[in-house]
Structure 1
């Protein structure tokens, strides 16, 4: 039985050495001839392996002429065999985890479609898409998979982060670069790729102003996350600068509620009570559909009776009835930005500062905003 135990240990060590060999060979292929390589301790820490596994692997690499050791100076990349290593590095893609909540969503569909397009292209990345149970804002137990990947990108289940979620993110960050889409988190080393909410609000308001609208209904149909609050402040700031009026319609949605249903009921009340704004600006495309449905059932025409613009994923508002003018969230572009951030964080090794990239996207015009420049009164009403 002792012999069987030793054999299993030997096989385990061999498997780890083979895995490490592939990882180090790929790493060597990225480096220039004569460049200093990792130390033994550095390899042990970076790849979470024992010294015996490292020693066995380095012996193979030195025998192939990929590494050379200079006493007192360390290990260096060799010219001999380097070309083969570079060719292999070009064919072996770096895996990145993309974690998305397990629920139907146009934005998630857009995100996964972009990931699949990257996988079928000539990118250096291969994106492994994993769905998680949305009972947690941040998924648990992906640390093992993260250790085998170049980094992790997370689309959180909500903007309601509990301490356990922050602890999970902190743990992931200690392993490999970790990016959260749309939610900058102060005090953590997570990166963030998202929409520039202030710019998006200004772009939507400028669009309405150019078409003669001076009194705007601001539909807040999502939980009050940081991103939503920034969009609301952006609308108020732009309105103050240009002398526009804003009527806030807060649907009081909290995390876990069906936002579209609550938005429908709240906006139907607004229509029945009467309103004075000429245009509606929605801070979210998914839940604004509740307001659009309320307009249909109230026999209110868009844009003839009410203009509508949304800050949203562009694919979602394209299938609204009618299609809505949209400040695009560019979810696919957020994924591209996150991949670039993983590259930069990894290049800076361990002591990296958290990075944030906020995209300034475009306005997509689809005819849901009516030009009332010549029919607007001095008070801004029809």
Structure 2
């Protein structure tokens, strides 16, 4: 341990016992009290400034910040929400729910945006962090990312991902149930020829949605077609879905009366293809999707969808993290799946009404 490391530790212990806004020692006072050089003081205080515990003042002294409150014995844990740096309604929903529930569930939230081209943050903020929540692109998450998360030696949960068979805590959507629920809704309306549009890049969650949909159809003797729109990571899915389905619809009636699309964004491609070919929704084609943004009510007709209960996912995530923080030893990993909720709007109708 270097002199600056020792000085950093001693100064940090002193700072934690002080009140926010109070003045801290000047460089000269620290040099005299600890018999160290100015270079040693500079190195130690720079770390404390980077951690947010100190901020330089215009005078010779430094000021203690509100960051010290996070170190109080009764302070709620600090949870770091690590999210890809990418503009997305989905990521915005997640962030808002974590902020909204922080007071109720008893945690402080720090948000970290990491490079979307990698599956996990390559470093963490130097401020106090007690636990991690990783929101990861399913196309980018690798074994190397999991190893990196383990190296941080903090409790963590992979959020909105179902990682069956992997030794990590994860909270995600019950994708098989989502597919089965979509099929159940359409079959309950009397449809007997269904299709699912593979409208997102292929991943375990997408395969699970398709599996749930197909199995429910098979159990009820209903025909099910899988339409692969060849969506890859980085593609604009509404455009690809539109092109595939427009060609299909233009050739005549599609051979199915109920369609399940795997995300709300791609549903706009379905709507455009049906509009341009004169296929009426829901009179001739019922459409159900997975999604929950405010835009669903502004589709014409409004889009029936299975929405993710993000609040429940946040609650389960914080429960897992707090259990791990309180435990004296490593707990068993948890895989918690949350069932989606169906909101029926105007894009689905009874088969008897189709003429």
Which residue of the partner structure matches residue 138 of structure 1?
A: 120
* CA distance in 2 between partners of 1:344 and 1:15 (Å): 31
When residues 15 and 322 of structure 1 are mapped into structure 2, their CA distance, relative to the original with a 3 A threshold, is: farther
Which residue of the partner structure matches residue 118 of structure 1?
A: 101
User: 1:159–1:183: 8 Å Cα contact kept in structure 2?
Assistant: no
Residue 150 (structure 1) aligned to one of 113, 127, 130: 130
When residues 141 and 188 of structure 1 are mapped into structure 2, their CA distance, relative to the original with a 3 A threshold, is: farther
User: Could you give the per-residue CA deviations for residues 37-82 of structure 1, whole angstroms, max 9, x where no partner exists?
Assistant: xxxxxxxxxxxxxxxxxxxxxxxxxxxxxxxxxxxxxxxxxxxxxx
Structure 2, unaligned stretches of length 5 or more? 19-71
* CA distance in 2 between partners of 1:170 and 1:269 (Å): 48
* CA distance in 2 between partners of 1:159 and 1:19 (Å): 43
Which residue of the partner structure matches residue 93 of structure 1?
A: 76
Q: Secondary structure at the match of 1:287?
A: helix
Residue 200 (structure 2) aligned to one of 207, 222, 238: 222
Residue 243 (structure 1) aligned to one of 189, 199, 221: 221
- The root-mean-square deviation of aligned C-alpha atoms, in Å, is 2.5
User: 1:182–1:227: 8 Å Cα contact kept in structure 2?
Assistant: no
How far residue 202 of structure 1 moved from its aligned partner, in angstroms, is: 1.6
How far residue 187 of structure 1 moved from its aligned partner, in angstroms, is: 6.1
> How many residue pairs end up in the alignment?
300
When residues 10 and 153 of structure 1 are mapped into structure 2, their CA distance, relative to the original with a 3 A threshold, is: closer
1:159 aligned to 2:142? no
Which residue of the partner structure matches residue 309 of structure 2?
A: 330
When residues 177 and 169 of structure 1 are mapped into structure 2, their CA distance, relative to the original with a 3 A threshold, is: same
Residue 347 (structure 1) aligned to one of 320, 326, 345: 326
Show the 5 A alignment for 1:1-382: 11-18=7-14, 90=74, 92-119=75-102, 121-142=103-124, 144=126, 148-172=128-152, 175-185=153-163, 188-274=166-252, 275-373=254-352
TM-score, length-scaled by structure 2: 0.76
User: 1:216–1:246: 8 Å Cα contact kept in structure 2?
Assistant: yes
Q: Secondary structure at the match of 1:344?
A: helix
When residues 272 and 124 of structure 1 are mapped into structure 2, their CA distance, relative to the original with a 3 A threshold, is: same
Q: Secondary structure at the match of 2:317?
A: helix
Q: Secondary structure at the match of 2:105?
A: coil
How far residue 316 of structure 1 moved from its aligned partner, in angstroms, is: 4.8
* CA distance in 2 between partners of 1:95 and 1:218 (Å): 42
When residues 237 and 115 of structure 1 are mapped into structure 2, their CA distance, relative to the original with a 3 A threshold, is: same
When residues 321 and 99 of structure 1 are mapped into structure 2, their CA distance, relative to the original with a 3 A threshold, is: farther
